[in-house]
Amino acid sequence: MVPVNKSFGLPKIGITQGDINGIGYEVILKVLADSRILDSFIPIVYGQSKVFSYYKKNFGMEEMSYTVIRDASQAQPKRINIINHTDEELKIEPGFSTPLAGKASFAALKLAVNDLRNGLIDAMVTAPINKANIQSDQFKFKGQTDFIKSFYPDNEYITILVWDKLRIGFVTNHIPLREVPSAINTGLIVKKLKLMHNSLIKDFNIPAPKIAVLGLNPHASDHGLMGNEDNDIIRPAIEQVKNSGILAFGPFPADGFFGSDAWLKYDGILSMYHDQGLIPFRVLAVDGGVSFTAGLPVVRTSTTHGTGYDIANKNIADPDALRHAIFLAIDILNNRVRS
C-alpha cells in the first residue's frame, strides 16, 4: 500500500543528487534502473540532467530515459523526473572534492527542501554531500540535517538510524567526544526518549515500544566505580519517563548489550554519543542502513554512507542503502496516514 497523492495516487519522493563527484548519481541510477520500482512512487531527482546523462553513459545505462520538469507539479508517473538546479555546464571530477560540487549539492538540496516545505513532494531522500565543500555564506551547518531542521525552529528532532528491526537514536550527535559528558543531562535524555517513543509509535507503527538506554561509561559506571553519570543523570531520566508510561530500560553497557544480541529484544535503542551507536550499527547493517530525521512534520531519510570518493565512477557502489531509504520514507508516510 502507498499513500494517496492528489495527482496520481502515488507519493512523490524527492531525491537530491548529493555531491556530483561522489557515488550519489551511481546509486540513484542503479535504484531507478529497475522500472518496477516506479510502481511504488514518483521519483523526482533534484540535480542536473546533464550530470545524470554523464553517469548514465559511463555505466552503460543509455536505455534509461527521463523527463526534465520545471517544478514538482509536472512530475509524471512511471517516469524518472529531473528538476535542474542550473542549466549551466558542470565540471564533473569523480573522486575529488571541489567547490563547484559543494555549490551544486547545496543548490539541489535547497530546491528540494523548499518543495518539501510547500507540500509539492511528499518526502525527501538525500544522497550524501561533502560537509566541507558545501560550506558557504548560505550554508553554515554541520550537515544536511541541521540545515533542514533550521526551517522548523519549533520542532525538536532526533536522528534514528534504521536497519531492519534495529533502530538507534542519539542523545548527542556531531560533537567532540570530550564534550559529551558535559552535554548530556537528565532533561535532554528525557526529551530524546520522548521523541523516540513518539516516533516509534507514529512513524514505525509500534503501539507500545520498548526502548533500551545505553550507559555513558564503561560497564555503565559499574556502581560508580567508573564515573557518576550513569547513576546520577541517565538512570533518573529513565525513571522519569517510566512514570509517564514510556517503556525505557537501562542503562546498559554498550559492549555487552550488542555482544549478547540483547538489542534484538527492543524496538529502539538510545545511544549517548555518535560512535557508541554508529560502530555497532555499521557492523550489523550489512546491506546499508538509513538515517531518519524524526520529530519533524516532514519526512526525510538519507543513506548512512558518505560520498564514496574512493570508488566514485567505478560502477561498484552498492545502491541498497538508497533503496532502503526510499522505501522507509514511503513506509513512514503510510504509518503517519494510519495514525
Yes or no: say if 211 and 248 are a contact pair by the CB < 8 Å rule. Answer: yes
Note the pLDDT of residue 7. Answer: 40
Q: Are residues 11 and 106 in the same domain?
A: yes
Phi, then psi, of 290 in degrees rounded to 5: -130, 145
Quick one: 139 and 22 in the same domain? yes
> Quick one: pLDDT at residue 9?
82
Claim to verify: residue 139 and residue 177 sit in the same structural domain = no
Query: Which helix (H) or strand (E) segment is 55 a member of?
Result: helix 49-58
Computed on alpha carbons and rounded to an integer, the radius of gyration of the chain in Å comes to 21
- In this structure, the answer to whether residues 273 and 311 fall within a common structural domain is no
Taking the whole predicted model, whether its pTM rises above 0.85 is answered as: yes
Mean pLDDT of 234-254: 96
Q: Is the domain of 148 the same as that of 243?
A: no
Per-residue pLDDT tens over the stretch 143-163: 999 999 999 999 999 999 999
Residues 119 and 205 in one domain: no
Residue 93 CA to residue 101 CA, distance in Å, equals 9
324 and 182 share one domain: no
Q: The domain spanning residue 200 has which CATH number?
A: 3.40.718.10
Over residues 242-258, the mean pLDDT reads 94
List the one residue out of 94, 106, 95 whose CA is nearest residue 133.
106
Calpha distance 112→122 (Å, rounded): 11
Nine-digit cell string for 56? 548514465
Distance separating alpha carbons of residues 333 and 149, to the nearest angstrom? 19
pLDDT in tens, 175-200: 899 999 999 999 999 999 999 999 99
Same domain, 15 and 86: yes
The x, y and z cell numbers of residue 22, run together, are 561522489
Confidence of residue 27 (pLDDT cuts 50, 70, 90): very high
* pLDDT mean across residues, the chain: 93
Which residue among 241, 259, 284 closes a domain?
284
The answer to whether residues 147 and 91 belong to one domain is yes
Domain that holds residue 87: 1-152+297-339
pLDDT at 221: 66
How much is the pLDDT for 3?
42
**pLDDT over 90 percentage in the chain:** 88
Say yes or no: 2 and 148 in one domain.
Answer: yes
